[in-house]
Amino acid sequence: MLAAIRSATLFGVEGRPVTVEVHVATGLPSFQIVGLPDEACRESRDRVRAAVLSSGLVWPASRVTVNLAPSSQRKGGSGLDLAIAIGLLAASQQVHPDSVDGLGFLGEVGLDGSLRGVAGVAPMVAALGSGVRPVVPSASAREAQGVAGDAVRVAGTLRQLVDALNAEAPWPEPPDNDLVDDIVPLPDLADVSGQAAARTALEVAAAGGHHLLLVGPPGSGKTMLAQRLPGLLPPLDAAIALEATMVHSAAGVRLPPGGLVRVPPFRAPHHSSSMVSLVGGGGTTLRPGEISLAHGGVLFLDELGEFAPVVLDGMRQPLEEGVIRLARARASASMPARFLLVAATNPCPCGGGPPGNCECDEAARLRYLRRLSGPLLDRFDLRVPVHRPDVDDLLASGGGESTALVAARVAAARQRSMDRIGMLTAHIPPAQMDALAPLDPDARALLRAELEADRLTGRGYHRVRRVARTLADLRGDELVGEANVAMALQLRVRLRVTSRGFAA
């Protein structure tokens, strides 16, 4: 007997449909899986056998062959367990073959017959197509419903699923207690004392989607500022929210209530992170990295100078294009990576501190600074020195503007940009700069003087113009004026190497 079951596997952040063909024939008892399965997929043989016997079902004493079609495509993970188990039961007449028509099965089976969720349920459900009803473990109901809605069917055990397919019991109801999560409130910008220039840079970064570098000694508030940036960003639009949900599901990150990522994510990997953990890859399924998990939100790199130089330079292409393309000998994948990069670094290994207090020797300073390449630094639209707050600022009873107040200005500026040019200012192509961000004569003269003095590169010139356009949107100006360009230049401090590390 032959049974064909619809399922899907994960590759990168995309689901790919798979047809699980199970053939049960007379001959010496055996079980073989073909179709380029990985190690986890091959091990499903033992998991499925134990689950079938633990569920009170019969394991056929026959020759069983499982083909994962298309056979030329590699399959990975344990998400095909459930489809293999149902295909075996259908081919051995323990499940009526007609009952699996129009259904797609995703999930891992336990040795006791329980069904377990797997990473990437959302993109795999999407890969099944609109005409297929997904059947998933109860633990994956939320992710599946975020894509397929009420069409999702769930089960907690293999026995429960078989009874529902044979019409011996009703389909279980999806759990609703997993849809209630504690929402952690975002930190408020009013908690930050002083730091007027850095607060302005934070507002500009949120309004235009500009990358931000904060340079200052320990205790100056760099991390506090970065942690408050997501609160200034508006909720994700429908397209970005769906892309972010697919990435988070593929990486096994817990999804929010409702199964859709709507709040801009905030990712802060440790400085010991490897290249693979940051940009993605690492296996046959090409797992998404931190830059993809930050899609639509903020990627915060604290202690930027402590990251390996090769890891930092690996982000240069995604920063420009908003996508990461991973290529391996047998596979390649593209993943979204449109994020707002915020980085913080000390001026030197010891942190600098007050003038004259640096304890680093010349070799240590140069080694520290060489970790940050010029092309990477050039991709930061905003480069702002952060100093330790004054005593009066620390002891003041009232803080600065709240997150809600600044977020309202950010939302208004973003709306002006979308109404005028249909995109955030940080994404304006260089070829359309004059049409979408025109300058008045004084502003053009100021930029010309900066270029002639060799204080701006070609990339820096375009980035200053984009920041100036954002500043104009925040002020409600139709034309980019000299004051906007001057402020943009002030927020893009030229960092140079001195005997005490970075300096403005």
Buried b (16+ CB within 10 A) or exposed e, 461-496: bbbbbbbbbbbbbbeebeebbbbbbebbbebbbebe
Paired tokens of 361: 């020797």
Among residues 387, 407, 340, which one has the least CA distance to residue 502? 387
How high is the pLDDT of residue 356?
52
Task: List the alpha helices (DSSP H) in 402-457.
Answer: 403-421, 433-436, 441-452
Label residue 369 by pLDDT band (50, 70, 90). confident
CA distance 128 to 260: 19
Which residues make beta-bridge pairs with 135? 105, 153
Tell me which residue of 151, 223, 215 sits closest to 191, measured CA to CA.
223
Q: What number is the average pLDDT over the span 464-480? A: 93
> In order of start, what are the domains of the chain with their CATH numbers?
2-179 (3.30.230.10), 189-417 (3.40.50.300)
- pLDDT at position 354 is 55
pLDDT for 259 beyond 80: no
Average of per-residue pLDDT values in the chain: 89
Of the candidates 82, 110, 84, the residue with the CA atom closest to the CA atom of residue 32 = 84
Quick: pLDDT tens for 183-196: 667 889 988 888 88
Name the DSSP class of 236.
Answer: P
Give percent of the chain above pLDDT 90: 62
pLDDT above 70 coverage of the chain, percent: 93
What pLDDT score does 485 carry?
Answer: 94
